[in-house]
Amino acid sequence: MSIIIDTERGKRVAELLYNSFSTTGIHGRADMPEDITPNSVVRGSLDHIFFITLTVSIDYQRDAPSLWGSSRKTFNDPKTRYLFDPKSLHETSFREIVKDMQKYELSKKPQKDANIWRTVGITFYKKWEGDPCNFLKNCNWDSSLILKRLRNDTHLYNGRLVLDYPYLRGPKIGPLWLRMLRDNVGMAQLRNMKSVPIPVDIHVARATLTTGIVRGSIEDRLGELFEYIRKAWFESVKGLSIKSRPMIALDVDEPLWHLSKYGCSNRDKTTGYCPVTNRCEAREFCIKGTIKIENGVVELET
């Protein structure tokens, strides 16, 4: 394995993508699947916080537009609305939760997803009076401490210690949750966001590789590159500024997602030919070579 991180290239790509996303969009798009709230839900309300928190907790191996669309349908249906209320989750049988999460295909893995959803909801109900903000306040709104607590906090269940925040504690979903709390919910109180690593999924990974910020030679599990990708963006944004504040790695999450989903996903995995090059904002950075990502395995020769 031979991998290079090109932070100078990363700085140029970060500026270009952020500015494009903030103005004309990437491939003409600047919307994210989580941006649309359910009917009558006020941005920043407790309902909104739980809609974001519970939905993102099962955002693994999922198509994001489908997941968030299913979540909105589930929220908007009076019969399944209770799934977003932690007290109701506590009072409802697991079997019923499993069934109701399947009504609009909110869950793809019925038992596993229902367990994640129920555990996260009930943790906030029992430990934090039904309000995630109480947990965040207890962490002094410090993002690095929040991520640490997400990873480590436990409770007793049937005589054994279990994790408070399954999957929400993960290296992708934890940072993604914080980014959504900042950008979608509008939590300006969150501090130390510069310490939060970019949430790496297949789209962020692909866009990072196709723009040549991380390049080289490897054939291995895609996850083996994630730490390189996190480091690449953590270093690349240093010294850059946006809106009178320092740019942080989270600021390029959405632009990279769009670049891959609506652009780099069309690229030929072996030749590197991309049919949307002419209209791509990052075309000058599109690197030649093989970038093949299939079934969690990456073959890279760039």
Give the pLDDT score at 157. Answer: 87
pLDDT-based confidence at residue 121 (cuts at 50, 70, 90)? very high
pLDDT reported for residue 158: 87
Please compute the mean of the pLDDT values over residues 58-71 and round it to a whole number: 96
Q: Mean pLDDT, to the nearest integer, of 59-73?
A: 96
Residue 266, pLDDT score: 95
Residue 8 has pLDDT above 80, yes or no: yes
DSSP letters for 200-243: --HHHHHHHHHTTSEEEEEEEEGGGGHHHHHHHHHHHTTT-EET
What is 46-185's CATH topology? Endonuclease III; domain 1 (1.10.340)
**Residue at token pair 């991520």:** 147
Question: Can you give the pLDDT at residue 209?
Answer: 98
Per the listing, tokens 């952020």 go with 18
**How much is the average pLDDT of 184-197?**
98
| Residue 34 pLDDT level (bands cut at 50, 70, 90) | very high
Q: Is the pLDDT of residue 301 over 90?
A: yes
Name the nearest CA neighbour of 14 among 177, 192, 256.
256
What pLDDT score was predicted for residue 243? 86
pLDDT of amino acid 223: 94
Whether the CB-CB separation of 5 and 228 falls below 8 Å is answered with yes
Q: Where in the chain are the domains? A: 2-31+195-301, 46-185
Q: What angle do CA 97, 159, 144 make, to 5 degrees?
A: 75
Residues 232-287: tens digit of each pLDDT: 999 999 999 998 899 999 999 999 999 999 999 999 999 999 999 999 999 999 99
Average pLDDT rounded to a whole number, residues 108-127: 98
The chain-wide mean pLDDT, for the chain, equals 97
Q: Averaged over 41-63, what is the pLDDT?
A: 97
2-31+195-301 fold: Endonuclease Iii, domain 2 (1.10.1670)
Q: What is the model's pLDDT at position 1?
A: 76
Residue 96 banded pLDDT, cuts 50, 70, 90: very high
Please indicate whether the domains covering 2-31+195-301 and 46-185 agree at the CATH topology level.
no
> What DSSP designation does 86 have?
H
Residues 135-164 have a mean pLDDT of: 96
d(CA 19, CA 25): 8
Global pTM exceeds 0.85: yes
Q: What is the mean pLDDT of residues 205-224?
A: 97
